[in-house]
Amino acid sequence: MHASVQDNELDVSGGREKRKLNYTALFIKYYNSPCYCHCRFCTIGQKTYSNVTFDRVEAIVGRFIKWKNEKGLDDFALNFFSGPSNNMDVARLKKSFELSEKLGNSDPTDRWIWLNGISLRPEDELRDWLLERKQAGISMVGMTFIGAKELHDKWRGRKGDYDFEMTMARLVGELGIKRLERMFLTKSTLPHLSSLIDLLDDIPGLSQRWITNVYYQGWARNMESERITRDDLQRLPEKISRYVGNDELRTEGEWIEYLKTDLQIPDRVILGRYTRHPGDSQLHLTIDETNIEELESRSCDEIVGDLRRRKDFVAGLVPPLRELLNDYGDSANMRLYGLRELEAKWIDCFTRDHEQLIRSEGIFTDELSDLTTIP
Ligand code: SF4
């Protein structure tokens, strides 16, 4: 955990109005289950794994649940993520579900998991593995499809992933488990989407299909050349466009025009993941061996207070959106973004330009990227 930052500590905002964030949630993360892929679109990016036992993590989360209830924090959410892959044994998986259910974040009658990143295994082993999960109450799985075999394996960073995933989709259908599919709307994947949809439509079990841009986060920040344009979007056949999500996508130029005429948003945004209200944000707490003992010895008030002060401090360094727009906005950029992504991109530009200042304030550059992070 980062050192405590006091409210009256150094003002790094250069005298301008500081961003004010409204924390609507605490997101607790526990990275203990290795992922076997190296996806170029991974929004987590660099991963480090913790050896802290689940029981200790569960105890901390349990304390936060008690704390939230005692304080009557009905509008403050607690979220828990255990992963990044679900390549874990069934006992651990069940415990993770039970914890999420205690937090009120998932429904015991509707348990589902992503299958991305599990280790390759022969078909008969895979069938048994999936069956065990079905017996543990998994009624749906999420899967990510890229396109044709070569492109798929390249994007997932492991040879054989395409064949493995297609086998998995077929087995899941045979076992009566529902399938949620995610695909990407990018320059490279666009030419493959129609045939991919045809292929997957022939495999029983489809429940939902969701086609989205790659979020500007983690490794996916290096995929700018893959962004589609408004023309690409408008040319999509109905067969594909019907699955494209509701995220509002505009070109950088269109967002700049929009922001210049909007009186509310520009001075106070780091968009939240869930509410989309300007200024809404969530606190992040990753539990690992470097902080577990400290977390066990401190009160929830102290932990949340420290996280809040630290995030306020980091956010205070970042200029308001209007300033970022003036310094880094590129009206000629025809690629499509969500507003949160564009803000993240401009914060990256600011970080590159002010690396020395940021370091001299004791801030890690990834703390600035984290400001706009989705879970
Ligand atoms: S499977 Fe998921 S966690 Fe693993 S690299 Fe791919 S996107 Fe990242």
- Taking the CA of residue 36 as reference, the ligand 1 atom at the shortest distance is 4
- The arithmetic mean of pLDDT across residues 25-36, rounded, is 94
129 C-alpha to ligand 1 centroid (Å): 19
Q: Give pTM, 2 decimals.
A: 0.89
120 C-alpha to ligand 1 centroid (Å): 14
What is the structure's pLDDT at 282?
85
What is the structure's pLDDT at 8?
35
Percent of the chain at pLDDT > 70 equals 89
pLDDT greater than 80 at residue 328: yes
pLDDT level of residue 264 (50, 70, 90 thresholds): low
pLDDT greater than 90 at residue 23: no
What is the structure's pLDDT at 1?
45
Choose the weakest-confidence range: 51-55, 73-77, 84-88: 73-77
What is the structure's pLDDT at 365?
87
What is the structure's pLDDT at 105?
78
Using most ligand atoms within 8 A of CB, pick from 85, 120, 152, 221 the residue to mutate for ligand 1: 85
43 C-alpha to ligand 1 centroid (Å): 8
Q: What's the CA gap between 167 and 176, in Å, rounded?
A: 14
pLDDT level of residue 368 (50, 70, 90 thresholds): confident
Q: What's the CA gap between 157 and 159, in Å, rounded?
A: 7
**CA nearest ligand 1 atom 3, residue:** 84
Higher pLDDT, 309 or 373: 309
- Taking the CA of residue 83 as reference, the ligand 1 atom at the shortest distance is 3
41 C-alpha to ligand 1 centroid (Å): 8
Q: In this structure, which long-range contacts are made by residues 322-327, counting pairs with CB atoms below 8 Å and at least 24 apart in sequence?
A: 322/259, 322/266, 322/267, 323/16, 324/349, 324/350, 325/256, 325/259, 325/260, 325/266
pLDDT greater than 50 at residue 10: no
Domains in the chain, please, with CATH? 19-106+282-316 (no CATH), 109-212 (3.40.50)
- The arithmetic mean of pLDDT across residues 52-62, rounded, is 97
Choose the weakest-confidence range: 3-7, 134-138, 165-169, 220-224: 3-7
Using most ligand atoms within 8 A of CB, pick from 29, 40, 42 the residue to mutate for ligand 1: 42
- The arithmetic mean of pLDDT across residues 106-113, rounded, is 84
- Taking the CA of residue 218 as reference, the ligand 1 atom at the shortest distance is 8
pLDDT greater than 70 at residue 108: yes
DSSP annotation of 26: E
- 187 contacts: CB under 8 Å, gap ≥ 6: 225, 226, 227, 228, 232
The helix/strand/coil state of 331 is coil
pLDDT greater than 90 at residue 15: no
CB 338 within 8 A of CB 276: no
